[in-house]
Amino acid sequence: MNSSALIMMLATEIVVTLVTIYFFIKVLKTPPKEEPDSFSENDK
Amino acid sequence: MSNNKEAWGSRVGLILAMAGNAVGLGNFLRFPVQAIQNGGGAFIIPYLVCFLLMGIPLLYVEWSMGRFGGKNGHHSTPFILDSMDKRKFWKYIGVFGIFTNLAVAAYYCYLESWTLSWVWHSVTGSFSGQSQAQVASFFGNYISLETLEPIVFWIICLVLNTWILSKGLSGGVEKVAKVGMPLLILFGAILAFIAVTLKAGDHGAINDGTLGLNFLWTPDFSTIWSPKVWLAAAGQIFFTLSVGMGSIQCYASYVRSKDDIALNAMSAGWMNGFVEIVLGSAIIIPISVGYLGIDTVVEMTKNGGLGLGFKTLPYLFDQFGGALGVMCGVLWFGLLFFAGITSSLAMGTPCMGFMQDEFGWKREKAAWAFGFVVLLLGLPTVLFFNYGVFDEYDYWAGTVSLVVFALFEIILFAWVFGMDKGWKEITTGADIKVPIIFKYIIKFVTPLMLAWVFISSLPGIWSQIKNEAIDKQILAATDPAVIEQLQTQLLYVNISRVGLLLVWLGIAYLVYIAYKKRIKEGRFTS
């Protein structure tokens, strides 16, 4: 691959992947709100 | 009285369902083709700018509208919009949020059934040893209904969708998303690895797979100022996120008012971006360029990526030989199937929510009624595919209707409901700090961008109404049989257009009846 294509691809894919992972981890790490919340699995 | 007691099982399930709603066949078939036709790697600049200025704002708006409507027991757009302003006409604008889902589901389920059928044919070795022309002709024979197989797979697909919908949000839609989305990403990652590591000389490939990546990602910065490229990027962002459909509002209406929507919207939106940019760019173009070369691929993608995906890739996978070829076929069409079904399920929920809320239907009844209406509406797209009915549905329901509805809803949210109240809706319960700049982007930039997309599409809409493309073909044709075929096509296209209009009016009438019923029962309207 030529360098401009490689830079474009890697820069974009790294940024998009990191942002996606960041938000998803934040979702996983955020504790659920007090009941009653929107999610039935938290009711148990 | 509403029978709607639906709820999401878990937050991850909601996000995967919402991401699954957005991730569709276009992530793998449309995005890479748009990129190579609009400046290669440079396309990503307008794409990401449009994502920030139009995609993210619309996600915030639709999620918050949905949660706002849900507070008052509204789970479909007619009465969600109605609850945001005292003027009575908004509920009829909300009709678009049901119409689009019904009409798109009508043809999308047929497309989805192809992927199921192609999985089956990959397993049974139907493409084994066939030439490229034979595989392409297989597709042609399939859509020409030379056997009843397409109808059988379509019915299976419809019944499967309806059955899952009848199990409800947490018991059906969410379960499918929790299985389908991880599998889709896994399948995509395996195929991307195979595509990128493809070497010239291996299994008959003439180029390395990386030549395709190089072709797709090499930036042509001269295109960056072209309005056509920006319009293509805006269109891609619009369609990939499933905004302007009414399905995001429906899913979000089951989120309680104190729970987060801002982080959820970002997580689902970026997940869709990951699938599109990272996986979508690394499969179809690298494999196709590896076997066919750049010029052939450019020629083949002039009419979009559908042909490449269904007519060419099965032949190319067969070149891998043996178990690897079969596995790649199953992974590719399996991936497209999961992308499709997680989207088509999202199309069912607003229609069901409306019947449950307004007419007190039970979930199962609403689901099977949705399936039956999709069957009736979809039948012309199956039977008269070769007469342009499928494309006509796609144009009006899958393109124009989305833009019109999104333009109305952003005006309602930012200018009628009011941005101060709107901002409060977006940020209430937020688990992230939403940058304040989005308040101004939503108020000024996004409406202008949507207006630009709509105005730019007006000449195309007018041309479509006048059937200019078919008329030109009729004028250019000399063979009487071809002229007769085109005139029949014109007739079917016009009938399907009138049919879609009647569907819209029928839903509007149902909304009117629901409104009168609410008044009679003393239930909340606006």
Q: Is residue B134 part of a domain?
A: yes
**Selected residue of B5, B6, B11 to mutate for chain A interface (largest A Cβ count, 10 A):** B11
Q: Which residues does residue A39 pair with via DSSP β-bridges, in sequence order?
A: B8
Q: What is this model's ipTM?
A: 0.96
Q: Is residue B326 part of a domain?
A: yes
The tokens describing A40, both together, are 């039935």
Q: How far apart are CA B416 and CA B75, in angstroms?
A: 21
pLDDT-based confidence at residue B305 (cuts at 50, 70, 90): confident
Instruction: Let me know: does B382 contact B150? Beta carbons within 8 Å.
Output: yes
Give CA torsion, residues B245, B246, B247, B248, to 10 deg. Answer: 100
Helix axes B96-124, B363-383, angle to 10 degrees: 70
- Chain B hits for A41, CB-CB cut-off 8 Å, are 9-10, 170
* Smallest CA–CA distance from A33 into chain B, residue: B259
Is the pLDDT assigned to residue B524 strictly greater than 80?
A: no
Contact criterion met (CB < 8 Å) for B11 and A27: yes
Query: Structural domain tally of chain B?
Result: 1
Using one digit for the tens of pLDDT, what is the confidence trace for B224-235?
A: 999 889 989 998
CATH of the domain at B388: 1.10.4160
Among candidate residues B328, B339, B335, B383, the one with its CA nearest the CA of residue B127: B328
Q: Is residue B486 part of a domain?
A: no
Q: How far apart are CA B316 and CA B192, in angstroms?
A: 14
Torsion-angle region of residue B432: left (phi > 0), alpha (psi -120 to 50) or beta?
beta
Q: What backbone torsions phi and psi does residue B6 show, to the nearest 5 degrees?
A: -70, 155
Whether omega for the bond prior to residue B314 falls within 30 degrees of 0, making it cis, is: no
Q: Is residue B359 part of a domain?
A: yes
Q: How far apart are CA B305 and CA B425, in angstroms?
A: 39
The one-character DSSP state at A33 is: P
What would the mean pLDDT of B405-433 be, rounded to a whole number?
97
Among candidate residues B240, B235, B213, the one with its CA nearest the CA of residue A8: B213
Q: Is residue B310 part of a domain?
A: yes
Query: What is the domain extent for residue B21?
Result: 11-219+226-465
Burial zone of A29 (CB within 10 Å; 0-12 exposed, 13-18 middle, 19+ buried): exposed
Q: Is residue B457 part of a domain?
A: yes
Contact criterion met (CB < 8 Å) for B256 and A36: yes
Q: Is residue B419 part of a domain?
A: yes
Place of tokens 């379960």: B175
What would the mean pLDDT of B313-330 be, rounded to a whole number?
94
CA distance A11 to chain B (A): 11
Q: Is residue B109 part of a domain?
A: yes
pLDDT-based confidence at residue B68 (cuts at 50, 70, 90): very high
Q: How far is CA B186 from the centre of its chain?
A: 21
**pLDDT recorded at residue A35:** 85
Contact criterion met (CB < 8 Å) for B267 and A37: no
For chain B, give the mean pLDDT. 95
